[in-house]
Structure 1
Amino acid sequence: MKFTKMQGIGNDYIYVNCFEEKVPDPERVSQIVSDRHFGIGGDGLVLIMPSDKADFRMRMFNADGSEGNMCGNATRCIGKFVYDNGLTDKTEITLETRSGIKYLTLYPENGKVKTVLVNMGKAILKPSDIPMNAEGDSFINKPIEVSGKEVFITAVSMGNPHAVTYVEDVDGLELEKIGPAYENHPLFPERVNTEFIKVLDSHTIQMRVWERGSGETWACGTGACAAAVASVENGYFRRGEEITVKLRGGDLFITYKEDGTVLMRGPAETVFTGEIDV
């Protein structure tokens, strides 16, 4: 199987061009290729496929083989892949995901895409739509119990569920110990991604993320969007202003617009290409 490893600020996936390749058991293949000791190494597997609804279709699988609905960093990398490899010559494309159609604007430099702006659609705040086992129109800064301790979270869906919580020390967190308790919290029937946030100034937040099915990753595009939305809803920022989200792998730039739409801007990079026997 031919593949391309790509990363969006450290969120690295194995990408397969399914216009040319077939992947009959992607759940198992994702587990194989994601292994950083015995495989290629990555946060999961992304298939770039034909679509009858958009220019391209994305399927993404976490490192444990579970299929995800959406990955913001992967959308940017797909935009780069299809342009750089001649699958399109357009700089505005549509991408079908399990969370609906996403709209990408590509910014090439010297024939290669460097930056991609993604319209991520509208943020979802209603608990039943996230989904979570709670009632009401939103779940903003409400207490839950995690490992016997009370913490406050804001729940947001960007096509996949997120729990955003604010901490004083992002760097000192032992996510390997606390992450699984958040991920498998009974409030979230489909598990949850968790963002640990510190507000740095009037337009910047620092974030680490524990992703369901993958553990801690260096970046999460939908998580950065959820963190920005939560920070606006909690009164830290205003809608319509670009927020810098500083992750372990680099920075993303998020705008939560007045109509509820979220824009994500950031880089995409190719690491290497190759073949693997799976």
Structure 2
Amino acid sequence: MKLSFTKMQGCANDYIYLDCRASGVPADIAALAQRLSARHFSVGADGIICICAPVTPGADGRMRIFNADGSEAQMCGNGVRCVAEWLYTHGVEKPVLTIDTNSGVKRISRQGAQLWQVEMGAYSTLPADLPAIHMGEGPLVDQPLTVEGKVWKVTCISVGNPHCVTVVEDVDSLKLEAIGPAFEHHANFPERINTEFVQVVDAAHLKMRVWERGSGETWACGTGTCATVAALTELGICPAGQDIHVQLRGGELVIRVLPGRQLLMTGSAVTVYEGVAEV
């Protein structure tokens, strides 16, 4: 069987996009995500994103994300921008789009060619919202976490999906393939965790690498970038209400923390190519 798809990327966070608005999500989507995401052996991607019919009245579409290991994620900040770009170029040519996700409805505004701003909603530092266990019931800000015998200072943030943020001196020297899995599968995070390692350049500029649950190291993570700026705002390093520029391996995202712990993310959404895969 032949499957039409669009390959898109936001800061090199690349996914295979399927138009499922009429057909629905394929029954074998988990296996399909594993097979088509395999780099060097198939299309290659961080996973598959299905563009579905909306469930909220008045919404323009729905996004469902399946990681490279076949697991389903709640939200993808880079992905939702690409869904907006795809809808915009496929007949839904509106300056503001609303998209259903597994972590609520997101409002996305077009800022220019292939540039979108997402209202990501409010973040939380409470363990019940991640979830996290064995770490108390108070805000998880600047807390010790022992990972394979080493104590890290972490700030845990939920932005609809769970993140663990830690500040390091030199992000480029980290061997994420060695330490990332231990964070992801740590016993304190029963639903696994996305982990961000961040280097502070100055109060408005950060460098970040990310280990995503279900995908490993990716070149960017929109929700992870939001969580990172939220964490450093909680730590008093980054100022609220100002644009914070975060350099990722695949490009730059701009995050702003608004009153009420609301997050605003701005970044690109680029169509790479359209193709047909044998499945």
Are 1:107 and 2:111 an aligned pair? yes
- Counting matched residue pairs gives 273
Supply the AA of the counterpart residue of 2:54: S
Partner of 1:77: 82
Does the alignment pair 1:222 with 2:227?
A: no
Instruction: Report the RMSD for the aligned CA atoms in angstroms.
Output: 1.0
8 Å contact kept, 1:127–1:137: yes
Does the Cα contact within 8 Å between 1:13 and 1:43 map onto a contact in 2? yes
2: CA distance, partners of 1:136 / 1:21: 44
Partner of 2:69: 64
Displacement of 1:137 after TM fit?
Answer: 2.9
CA deviation map 1:144-183 (0-9, x unaligned): 1001111110000111100000111100100000000000
Give TM-score scaled by structure 2 length. Answer: 0.96
Does 1:15 find its partner at 2:53?
Answer: no
User: Aligned equivalents of 1:128 and 1:153: distance in 2?
Assistant: 16
Name the SS for the 1:40 alignment partner.
coil
Deviation at 1:21, TM superposition (A): 4.6
Q: Deviations over 1:57-109 (max 9, x none)?
A: 010000000000000000000010000121x1211111111101111002344
Partner of 1:154: 155
Measured in 1, the distance between the counterparts of 2:68 and 2:23 equals 20
> How high is the sequence identity, in percent, across the aligned residues?
47
Secondary structure of the structure 1 residue equivalent to 2:84? helix
Contact kept, 8 Å, 1:56 with 1:95, in 2: the verdict is yes
Q: Distance in 2 between matches of 1:25 and 1:207?
A: 34
User: 2:32 matched to which residue of 1?
Assistant: 29
Secondary structure of the corresponding residue to residue 276 of structure 1: strand
Unaligned runs of 5+ in 1: none
Does the 8 Å CA contact 1:2/1:21 hold for their aligned counterparts? no
Give the Cα separation in 1 of the matches to 2:182 and 2:95. Answer: 41
For 1:191, the equivalent position in structure 2 comes to 192
Q: Is the 8 A contact 2:37 2:47 kept in 1?
A: yes
Task: Determine if contact 2:203/2:239 at 8 Å carries over to the other structure.
Answer: no
SS in 2 for 1:171: helix
Deviations 1:223-259 (CA, angstroms, capped at 9, x unpaired): 0000000000001012111100110000000001121
Q: Deviations over 1:119-156 (max 9, x none)?
A: 00000111111111133231001101001111110000
